[in-house]
Amino acid sequence: MANPENVYLGQCNCGAVKFEFTGAPVASGYCHCVECRTARESDTFDFIAWQPAQQRITNGNDKVRTHSHTSSMTVSFCSECGSGLFHTNVLGVHSTSRSLFRHSHDGKVPQGLEPQLHIFYGERVMDVADDLPKFKDLPEPFGGTGELLA
């Protein structure tokens, strides 16, 4: 289903924290960096990145807890259910998991939030067989080398 207003609603797993992002994301894909993998306890982080001005918490701001995961990343989560909500990196970009949007969109991730790339693929713990570009670190516009890996 199309989203002509580009307003994307999301929430934690228990619904105590609800949020919205407005406008097109900065990027959407899979991060393979060690910080994201350890923060999410996963092989990859299925991220959607936004500028802070694009985010608004609409319910449960008092339930959001934040801690410094590393010197370059903070992680916010719901104090009720523990759902990871947002990562904020040194660039100030907020990233959230694609799966948190399915709760507000009939169980589906809305159009416009499809993955576009892999970042920090040079740090991967497993190969991924898809046709998305795989950046060794970050694309040049985000401060990386822009080097692509096969």
Residue 1, in any domain of the structure:
no
What CATH number should be reported for the domain holding residue 30?
2.170.150.70
Of 148 and 91, more confident: 148
Residue 72, in any domain of the structure:
yes
Predicted local distance difference test score (pLDDT) of residue 64: 97
Predicted local distance difference test score (pLDDT) of residue 119: 93
Residue 149, in any domain of the structure:
no
Please determine, for residue 14, whether its predicted confidence score (pLDDT) is greater than 90: yes
Mean pLDDT of the chain: 89
Predicted TM-score (pTM) of this structure: 0.84
Residue 58, in any domain of the structure:
yes
* Structural domain for 108, as ranges: 7-140
Number of domains in the chain: 1
Of the chain, the end-to-end C-alpha distance in Å amounts to: 33
The candidate with the shortest Cα–Cα distance to 59, out of 78, 84, 83, is 78
Please determine, for residue 18, whether its predicted confidence score (pLDDT) is greater than 90: yes
Residue 147, in any domain of the structure:
no
Please determine, for residue 15, whether its predicted confidence score (pLDDT) is greater than 90: yes
Residue 85, in any domain of the structure:
yes
Residue 46, in any domain of the structure:
yes
Q: Write out the two tokens for 55.
A: 């985010």
Residue 2, in any domain of the structure:
no
Predicted local distance difference test score (pLDDT) of residue 22: 94
